[in-house]
Amino acid sequence: MRAWLWLTARSMANRRLSVGLTVLSIALAVTLLLGVERLRSDARSGFANTLSGTDLIVGARSGPVQLLLYSVFRIGDATSDIAWSSLEAIEAQPLVKWVVPLSLGDSHRGFRVLGTDGRYFAHYQYGDRRPLAFADGRPFEGVFEAVLGAEVAEALGYRLGQRIVLAHGAGAASLAEHADKPFTVVGILARTGTPVDRTVHVGLAAIEAIHLDWSGGAPIPGLGLSAEETRKFDLSPKRVTAALVGLKTRAGVFRMQRFVNDFKGEPLLAILPGATLQQLWGLMAVAEQALLAISALVVAVGLAGLVAVLVASLGERRRELAILRALGAGPRDVFLLLAGESLLLAFAGCGFGVALLLGLTGALAPWLEGRFGLVLVFQGLQPREWLWLAAVLAAALVASGVPAWRAYRMSLADGMTIRI
Amino acid sequence: MSGDAALDIDTLSFAWPGQAPCLSIERFTLAARERLFLQGPSGSGKSTLLSLVGGVIVPTAGRLRVLGTDTAALRPSARDRFRADRLGIVFQLFNLLPYLSALDNITLACRFSRARRERAGDVAAEARRLAARLDLDPSLLVRPAVELSVGQQQRVAAARALIGRPSLVIADEPTSALDAERQAGFVDLLLGECRASGSALLFVSHDRSLAGRFDRCVRLPDINRPEGAR
């Protein structure tokens, strides 16, 4: 082993407390940097995987991002509905394999209610073409039956058989409730990490039923229909908010999109979910970059700490370096001693940081998924993360230049007189 | 071992940048294997002279030959290597590395010099032999230097300077921390080892009481006349 490496190891062992604290601060900075990077990357892929297997989303003509937001993410409201007949016309197209109607506008204790039909459970896919699965129960069959997303059930503590009341509108504290027409929970979906988890699913007939005695967003005075009475009415849907469309072949997607966009019956809009998801993610690029900048700053602070520790230790090591110099160590040896120490500290910090990251990923992944719907994949370091580590090591090497240069200058100034 | 003078100074002058000369020696030699006592009060230029001999700084003017080598003509890295290969230094405060064992401290000089390592042969065995010659108990060698007594630290420092038989040993006030009785004992040990290894010894001190044990005694103020520097 080269003399400077041997001495570095011995000297560091002698200062194990300050060395340990420095390694800890670098490790925490590296964990934070890689953690944020991993969260960002997993959030991005989770976001892109919110919906899969759907070729087109159809809604009333508005903006593509707005349509995506309310139909997939349950954020905001549609400017207009689409007629059921329009949906039937689309479904009748030879390119179309399936259509899933979506009807939005109601809520339950802050969670959006989605009116749909059995095709939703058959065709809705997320992630890598994963279908919806039931953690408990079954799809709704009767009019006043509901299926809960995993987060709704967990947050509200609902189980099968629970009676729930829907509210008109999307507010968390809506005053106008459909209290006279309660629903029974018959199914709870398995967790997906998508907005499905935060959705209460009911049948389209139910949406019609609860609004039979309503007009203009308010109950019609004097007309109160019980749940039982609504069954006498025609509950087939008249209008829906949007629809997911699956095609027989991907090759026909632009032809079908053109058909919808040029639809004569009413102004409609068809979007390709993948492209619009990317567009939506692009809107969040500033926040994403800000997150990355913050974690880079954390690393900078960690490295500044490394330099501070090395510079501070120079005072106590000045005598040691002067002794080595008098014994024949050259300025290059002194420089290597400090630079080597910085690199060893950075290596150790990166190693502990990665171990901490993997440990935390394994330990916190279930909690993050449960609390925030964020699916963290437990995996080894990715190429981009290796690059970050290389950047940290390179930065540590550059940062070590400051104390190493000071040590070099001191060793020249101290000469052969060691009275420090 | 070189047959040249251990030190050969001719019209040497040195000044720190922007300052008046602090060292100006017309003529001074230390013969090979000679053991010389260089006496001088504080501020007389002893440290500057040692830095010049060690090759850490170079003369502003004049000539300085160490063991026959004009060290000022060497590149800085070559001067460092020369110092590691040919010189042994005992410091006033011993300057052992506290986190190394006594044995590691003794062998430290060999880590920076292959020539010294080769002259020492089995470095650890040579370190133990020197320690024994300097009356250091073998059980002390594995202990951290910081746990040794002042006298023991001084003998470890001497062994470190002597390992690998350097041609010139410089001792910079090595007895200032010892009482009179221990001073004489240590100097006798050092002189004996230098004689055994054929090393010249430049012993620097402000205390003249030990001067009689050396081949020659020189007062630095007698040879250093900075006011006469060019």
Confidence of residue B126 (pLDDT cuts 50, 70, 90): very high
**Token couple for B44:** 């007389």
> Which chain B positions have a beta carbon within 8 Å of A324's beta carbon?
108, 112
Residue pLDDT, tens place only, A38-73:
877 777 777 777 888 899 999 999 889 899 999 988
Contacts of A326 in chain B (CB under 8 A): 54, 56, 83, 89, 91, 95
Interacting residues of B68 by C-beta distance below 8 A, sequence separation 6+: B2, B4, B5, B8
Task: Quote ipTM for the complex.
Answer: 0.79
pLDDT of residue A420: 38
Spatial neighbors of B175 by CB under 8 A, at least 6 apart, are: B154, B182, B183, B186, B187, B205, B207, B210
Question: Which are the contacts of B94, defined by CB distance < 8 A and separation ≥ 6?
Answer: B153, B154, B156, B157, B174, B177
Boundary of a domain, candidates A246, A271, A296: A271
Is A279 part of a structural domain of the chain? no
Which of A241, A271, A301 is the endpoint of a domain? A271
For the stretch A161-172, pLDDT in tens is 999 998 887 665
Q: At residue B2, does pLDDT exceed 50?
A: no
pLDDT given at position B207: 80
Inter-chain CB proximity B85 and A11 less than 8 Å: no
pLDDT band at A127 (very low <50, low <70, confident <90, very high): confident
Cβ-defined contact of A333 to B112 (cutoff 8 Å):
yes
Domain that holds residue A299: 3-47+285-414
Residues 6+ apart with CB under 8 A from B23: B12, B13, B14, B15, B45, B48, B49, B52, B224, B226, B229
- Residues A258, A311, single domain; the answer is no
Specify the pLDDT at position A122.
94
Residue A232 and residue A102 share a domain: yes
Average pLDDT in chain A: 84
User: What is the rounded CA–CA span in Å between residue A174 and residue A168?
Assistant: 7
In the block, tokens 């209008």 appear at A239
Question: Of A417 and B46, which is predicted with more confidence?
Answer: B46
For residue A372, what are its two tokens? 């925030």
Q: Where are the domains of chain B?
A: 33-44+74-228
Contact by Cβ (8 Å): A33, A392: yes
Q: Residue A197's CB: how many other CB atoms inside 10 A? A: 22
Give start and end residues of each alpha helix (H) in B71-211. Answer: 76-86, 102-111, 114-120, 123-133, 150-162, 180-197
* pLDDT, tens digit (0-9, with 9 covering 90-100), for A385-400: 898 888 888 887 887 7
Same domain, A70 and A121: yes
- A129 and A21 co-located in one domain: no
The tens digit of pLDDT for each residue in B169-178 reads 999 888 876 7
The whole-number pLDDT of residue B3 equals: 52
Q: What percentage of chain A reaches a pLDDT higher than 70?
A: 89
Mean pLDDT, residues B102-117? 90
A343 contacts: CB under 8 Å, gap ≥ 6: A393, A396, A397, A400
Chain B residues in contact with A6 (beta carbon < 8 A): 111
Q: For A9-33, how does the pLDDT look when each residue is reduced to its tens digit (9 = 90+)? A: 888 888 888 888 888 888 888 888 8
Q: Between B67 and A225, name the one with better pLDDT.
A: B67
Q: How confident is the model at residue A372 (pLDDT cuts 50, 70, 90)?
A: low
Task: Tell me which chain A residues have a C-beta less than 8 angstroms from the C-beta of B51.
Answer: 415-417
Interface probe for A, chosen from B19, B108, B116, B167 (most Cβ of A below 10 Å), is B108
At A375 the pLDDT is: 66
Look at residue A277 and tell me if it is in a domain.
no
pLDDT of residue B227: 66
As a whole number of angstroms, the distance between CA A95 and CA A246 comes to 9
Domain membership flag for residue A324: yes
Contacts of B195 (CB under 8 A, 6+ apart): B33, B35
A185 with A213, same domain: the answer is yes
Query: pLDDT tens digit string along B143-162?
Result: 988 889 888 888 899 899 99
Q: Which residue has the higher pLDDT, B158 or A7?
A: B158
At A413 the pLDDT is 60
A100 shares its domain with A233: yes
**Which tokens hold the place of A22?**
């420095």
CATH number of the domain located at residue range(s) B33-44+74-228 in this protein: 3.40.50.300
Question: How does DSSP classify residue B16?
Answer: -
Q: Which of A298-312, B145-159, B179-193, B204-218 has the lowest mean pLDDT?
A: A298-312
> What residues contact A404, with CB distance under 8 A and at least 6 apart?
A334, A335, A337, A338, A339, A342
Of A242, A271, A300, the residue that ends a domain is A271
Out of B50, B53, B84, closest to residue A327 by CB: B84
Task: Give the CA distances from residue B79 to residues A170, A406, B1, in Å, rounded to whole numbers and listed in that order.
Answer: 82, 21, 18
Percent of chain B at pLDDT above 70?
97
Give the helix/strand (H/E) hosting A412.
helix A383-414
User: Do A121 and A216 fall within a single domain?
Assistant: yes
Start-to-end CA span in chain A (Å): 29
pLDDT at A397: 80
Number of structural domains, chain A?
Answer: 2
Residue type, A278: Q
Q: How far apart are the CA of A1 and the nearest CA of chain B, in angstroms? A: 10
CB distance from A330 to chain B under 8 Å? Answer: yes
Question: Does the beta-carbon distance from B76 to A416 stay under 8 Å?
Answer: no
Higher per-residue confidence, B42 vs A257: A257
Q: Kindly report, residue by residue over A88-124, the tens digit of the pLDDT.
A: 999 999 999 999 999 998 889 889 999 999 999 999 9
pLDDT at A415: 55
Q: What is the pLDDT of residues A189-239, one digit of tens each?
A: 998 888 999 999 999 999 888 887 767 666 777 667 777 777 777 888 899
- Show Cβ contacts of residue A84 under 8 Å, excluding neighbours closer than 6 positions: A101, A236, A237, A238, A239, A240
Q: In the structure, what pLDDT confidence band is assigned to residue A419 with cuts at 50, 70 and 90?
A: very low
SS3 of residue A101 by DSSP: strand
For B27-65, write each residue's pLDDT tens digit. 999 999 999 999 988 778 888 888 889 887 889 999 999
**Contact yes or no for B99 and A14 at CB 8 A:** yes
The tokens 């970050």 sit on which residue? Answer: A388
Q: What is the DSSP string of A239-287?
A: EESEEEEEES-GGGHHHHHHHHHT-SSS-EEEE-HHHHHHHHHHHTHHH
CB pair distance less than 8 Å for A10 and B89: no
Q: Is residue A206 part of a domain?
A: yes
- pLDDT at B230 > cutoff 50: no
